[in-house]
A and B are shown apart, each in its own frame.
Chain A
Amino acid sequence: MANRKQRLTNYWGWFHIGFIILVCCYSTYHKYCRFYNVPENQAIKKTNMALFTGNVLTYYSRLSGTGAGYGFFAPQIKSTGLIIGDCDGNRIGARFKNFETMMRFNVMAGRVTDYLITKDDGSPITDSALKSKFYDLVFKSIAVKVYNQNQCSQDTLHMSYNIINFPTLRQYRAGRRSYQLITTKEVSIVKTAE
Chain B
Amino acid sequence: MNARGFFHLSDQTPVNKLWLVFFRCSVSALIVLNFASMQADFNDIFSANSYIPPDINNVLRSHLLPSIYGVYRSLSPTFHLSYPTVLLTFRIVYPVALLSLFAGLFTRISAGIALLLQLVILNSMDLYCYGFDAFTTIALFYCVIFPVGAEFSLDNYVFKRSAKAAGNNQFLWVLRAHICIIYFFSGFEKLLGYNWRNGESIWKMVHGYNVLSFIDLDFLYKTPIFFIAGWGTIIVEMFYPLFINIPKTRKAWLIVTISFHVMIAFFMGLYFFSAMMIIFSVTTYYIPFNMRVPQLSNTPGPIPNTKELELTNAA
A residues lining the B interface (CB < 8 Å):
2, 5-6, 9-10, 12-13, 16-17, 20-21, 24, 27-28, 31-32, 35, 58-59, 62-66, 68-77, 79-80, 94, 96-105, 107-108, 111-112, 123-125, 134, 137-138, 141-142, 145-146, 164, 166, 168-170, 172-173, 179
Contact = CB atoms under 8 A, between A and B. Distances in A.
Given A71-B188, A72-B186, A124-B63, 7 more contacts: A32-B192, A63-B115, A77-B208, A96-B44, A101-B37, A101-B38, A101-B41
B174 A16 contact: yes
Contacts of B246: none
Given A13-B173, A62-B119, A74-B196, A31 B52 contact: no
A160 B34 CA distance: 30
B296 interface: no
B269 A173 contact: no
B189 A69 contact: yes
B56 A141 contact: yes
Contacts of B136: 65
Contact of A65 (B62, B141, B171, B188): B141
A77 B209 contact: yes
B185 A170 contact: no
B192 A141 contact: no
Ranked nearest first, the 4 interchain pairs of A and B with the lowest CB-CB distance are A75-B193, A71-B189, A65-B137, A74-B189
Contacts of A137: 56
Interface string B126-140: 111111001111100
A119 to B, nearest CB: 15
Given A63-B115, A123-B60, A77 B131 contact: no
B128 A64 contact: no
Interface residues of B, number: 75
B127 A108 contact: yes
A10 to B, nearest CB: 6
Interface in B193-247: 193, 195-196, 198-201, 203-205, 207-209, 211, 218, 221-222, 226
A166 B207 contact: yes
Given A73-B190, A79-B208, A123-B60, A94 B51 contact: yes
Given A62-B64, A105-B51, A21 B129 contact: no
A184 B4 CA distance: 51
What's the dominant secondary structure at chain B's contact region?
A: helix
Contact of B60 (A2, A58, A124, A166): A124
A142 B52 contact: yes
B170 interface: yes
Given A125-B59, A170-B200, A70 B186 contact: yes
A33 B51 CA distance: 34
Nearest to B205: A77
Contact of A105 (B128, B134, B207): B128
A76 B208 contact: no
Contacts of A105: 51, 128
B166 interface: yes
Given A28-B188, A80-B209, A103 B196 contact: no
Contacts of B170: 6, 9-10, 13
Interface string B28-52: 0000001001101100110001111
Nearest to B11: A6
29 contacts: A9-B167, A20-B178, A24-B181, A24-B185, A31-B189, A59-B64, A65-B135, A69-B185, A70-B185, A70-B186, A73-B201, A73-B205, A74-B189, A74-B192, A77-B204, A77-B205, A77-B209, A94-B51, A99-B211, A99-B269, A101-B45, A103-B269, A104-B38, A104-B129, A105-B51, A111-B127, A141-B52, A142-B52, A169-B221
Nearest to B210: A80
Given A20-B181, A64-B137, A101-B44, A76 B195 contact: yes
Contacts of B93: none
B134 A68 contact: yes
B65 interface: yes
Contacts of B182: 70
B258 interface: no
B304 interface: no
Given A6-B167, A58-B64, A111-B127, A172 B119 contact: no
A5 B203 CA distance: 51
